[in-house]
A and B are shown apart, each in its own frame.
Chain A
């Protein structure tokens, strides 16, 4: 039954998306590792790492689209879940440095020695063990989202109020993580990583593996999200987005659905953060910045809300534009360009870039209804 679900999950567009992502997962690392740098088809480390980063952002955008596009929860604090996943991975990587740090302390990371700490804080215990760190990558964002959702959705906080609270959440975390005594390296964050599972984090092979893993995670994230939105529960999510009180009068516990999807989304964002950190080599509190979380919403809007594929596409396109823009003489104007992009897309492309592409007629879904993905944009 589950396999049938898996196969039925992607639509036509989804299969194309999965094919591209999975081909990239194999091809890009091969082109990087096997071809000499002189070859025109060689993919350099920097390009591969950059695209690996885009893939992480794409997964993050996917997770945001799941809550915003399908359940109408406009989270302006999704960066917090991404950063928490990143910090969990960063803590593992810090513990792997061992005696190779500047102070060569066997257990304490450099910044703790610098702060004159004598022993490891309790919440750093266990992070030298990779499976534990992986668990925390999912668990910390998930538990935070669950607790936050439990209170917010039970109290029926919706709309702009909810957005403001999510924004406050990420801002509060940013202020906390900026403090040295918080125990996560203050404003420098965690960096100077050496290796991951014994492999040199700078090596070509490790980088290639991280790229491939990011692509696979994106593909899996897409399939999971699709399975959720294709299920009857996914129909309930859309119902909540479009007519919340109607859904409640039908007997659905709206708060449970919202908490569920918000928690799932936060876990996905955490995984994206955990893949991002070893590739960029640093995690610091600026990842919690409210502006980052707002930017993520722009990715989703640009690509096409409630399409999943569009969210991923939007993340890649906007970040590609950002990398191109901010490295040249146009750098000072990037934020203007981003703002203009958002305004233009909202006015002229309410369905995002994906809305421009022609859609094939989809085969009828399990109960005779057309498969999802053709959801019109609800008024927000």
Chain B
């Protein structure tokens, strides 16, 4: 199956390329001519007040929402994401963590990871699947990374909120995607948990391209990466956390000072 299209105008070397993307819901412009580029291997933090379009942007990238206009290209412009559905986009290598931790509550922690591992997704393949040591080794590694080794046999539903967030990040790692979209990973976490999560994400960013959407400025500062500020569906400012915090318009709309 050929999932790629030839790029007509060699627009980009970026992993992710959004150009002039607009989305409206019942007249409300959630995204307004949004343009964003992400280099391979980069980690980017995206901040913005409520309603700035952060989650809608993720919906567009992952195929949940179709943009009204604009280009959404992946992998050096070779794939037009607006023509794919969620499952196809996930198979291309874009993983997503939801704002509210979404794990399979009636499965064990290990099974949650197992289901996420990069593997055959077809019905037939999974009916015929047999447990193998390669998978269990990989599951063990991931559990170690996210600090849940001791909880592998527990049902995911019985984990604490913070542990569920980590499990979901583990599920992202298991997919081994080219691009990770992480929506508010530290919502509802204690400070100590937030800091652990920041270190975890920095670790992941060593060999993945990551977009983190977050409200928590301390957390974003800890990540120490380039920040994009969204406002009313388009980019308001870009730069280091210190630069954008010093930007007057950002202060005006976001920091509210």
A-to-B contact residues, CB < 8 Å:
1, 228, 231-233, 235-236, 238-239, 242-243, 245-254, 256-257, 260, 366-370, 375-376, 378
Q: Are A253 and B131 in contact (CB under 8 A)?
A: no
A-B contact pairs, 22 of them (CB 8 A): A232-B115, A235-B114, A239-B104, A243-B103, A243-B104, A246-B103, A246-B104, A248-B87, A248-B90, A249-B86, A249-B90, A249-B96, A250-B171, A250-B175, A253-B121, A260-B123, A366-B130, A366-B131, A367-B131, A369-B111, A370-B153, A376-B155
Q: Are A250 and B116 in contact (CB under 8 A)?
A: yes
Q: Are A233 and B129 in contact (CB under 8 A)?
A: yes
List chain B residues, Cβ under 8 A from A239: 104, 107, 115
Instruction: Indicate the size class of the contact surface on chain B.
Output: 35 or more
Contact A251/B115 with A246-B98, A257-B123 known, Cβ cut-off 8 Å: no
List chain B residues, Cβ under 8 A from A242: 104-106
- Per-position 1/0 for B89-118, Cβ under 8 A of A: 011000110100011111110110011100
Contact A251/B105 with A246-B98, A367-B114, A367-B136 known, Cβ cut-off 8 Å: no
Contact A251/B91 with A257-B123, A369-B153 known, Cβ cut-off 8 Å: yes
B46-98: which have CB < 8 Å to A?
Answer: 62, 64, 86-87, 90-91, 95-96, 98
In whole angstroms, what is the CA distance A376 to B107 when docked?
10
List chain B residues, Cβ under 8 A from A247: 115
In whole angstroms, what is the CA distance A248 to B175 when docked?
13
- The CB with the most chain B CB atoms within 10 A, among A233, A246, A256, A366, is that of A246
* Interface assignment of B147: CB less than 8 Å from any CB of chain A: no
Q: Are B126 and A231 in contact (CB under 8 A)?
A: yes
In angstroms, how far is the closest chain A Cβ from the Cβ of B225? 24
Complex: chain A residue closest to B140, CB-CB: A368
Q: Are B126 and A236 in contact (CB under 8 A)?
A: yes
In whole angstroms, what is the CA distance A238 to B128 when docked?
17
In whole angstroms, what is the CA distance A375 to B104 when docked?
11
Q: Are B127 and A231 in contact (CB under 8 A)?
A: yes
* Interface assignment of B152: CB less than 8 Å from any CB of chain A: yes
* Interface assignment of B190: CB less than 8 Å from any CB of chain A: no
B-to-A contact residues, CB < 8 Å:
62, 64, 86-87, 90-91, 95-96, 98, 102-108, 110-111, 114-116, 121-123, 126-131, 135-136, 152-153, 155, 157, 171, 175
List chain B residues, Cβ under 8 A from A254: 87
Complex: chain B residue closest to A375, CB-CB: B106
List chain B residues, Cβ under 8 A from A370: 108, 153
Q: Are A369 and B108 in contact (CB under 8 A)?
A: yes
Complex: chain B residue closest to A243, CB-CB: B102
Contact A251/B87 with A233-B123, A366-B131, A367-B136 known, Cβ cut-off 8 Å: yes
Q: Are B115 and A1 in contact (CB under 8 A)?
A: no
Q: Are B110 and A368 in contact (CB under 8 A)?
A: yes
Q: Which of A233, A235, A253 contacts B87 (CB 8 A)?
A: A253
Q: Are A368 and B123 in contact (CB under 8 A)?
A: no
Q: Are A246 and B126 in contact (CB under 8 A)?
A: no
Complex: chain B residue closest to A251, CB-CB: B90
In whole angstroms, what is the CA distance A228 to B128 when docked?
10
In angstroms, how far is the closest chain B Cβ from the Cβ of A152? 17
List chain A residues, Cβ under 8 A from B127: 228, 231-233
List chain A residues, Cβ under 8 A from B111: 235, 367, 369
> 5 more A-B contacts (CB under 8 A) besides A233-B126, A236-B115, A246-B104?
A232-B114, A249-B96, A256-B122, A367-B136, A370-B108
In whole angstroms, what is the CA distance A243 to B115 when docked?
13
In whole angstroms, what is the CA distance A97 to B71 when docked?
68
Q: Are A378 and B106 in contact (CB under 8 A)?
A: yes
Complex: chain A residue closest to B119, CB-CB: A232
Q: Are B129 and A231 in contact (CB under 8 A)?
A: yes
